[in-house]
Amino acid sequence: MLTFLLQLAKQKAMQTELEENKRSVDEMNKARNQLSAEVAKLKDRLESEKDAKSAEQASRRRLQEQLQELQISTSANGAMHGGMLLVSLSSDR
């Protein structure tokens, strides 16, 4: 009878420990799921920021190219205007 009661007590203790372990596993799974969702959100945010940065860089390159074209055009127009002025001045003599 004593061995039966000891086995029953041991079984009850093991059942309690098992239930505590199950609760711990459930809590850890919940925490893991929350962290996974947070990681997914951060990955999406990072991807969006990368896309925005890439678009900004492309825009800057286009603006730089346009500025260079305008500088070349302005330079060429200035040189052409200067050449016409010299031709005009030399023909006035």
User: Residue 22 domain-assigned?
Assistant: no
Averaged confidence pLDDT in the chain: 89
Query: Which has the higher per-residue pLDDT, 84 or 71?
Result: 71
- Predicted pLDDT of residue 4: 87
State the residue for tokens 């074209």: 69
Nearest Cα neighbor of 46 from 61, 60, 38 is 38
- Predicted pLDDT of residue 75: 82
User: Residue 19 domain-assigned?
Assistant: no
Q: Is the pLDDT of residue 69 over 60?
A: yes
Helix (H) or strand (E) holding 93: none
Q: How far is residue 26 from each of residues 18, 19, 23, 32, measured CA to CA in Å?
A: 12, 10, 5, 10
Q: Number of structural domains, the chain?
A: 1
User: Residue 7 domain-assigned?
Assistant: no
Domain that holds residue 84: 29-93
pTM of the model: 0.58
User: Residue 17 domain-assigned?
Assistant: no
User: Residue 79 domain-assigned?
Assistant: yes
Q: Is the pLDDT of residue 73 over 60?
A: yes
Q: Is the pLDDT of residue 83 over 80?
A: no
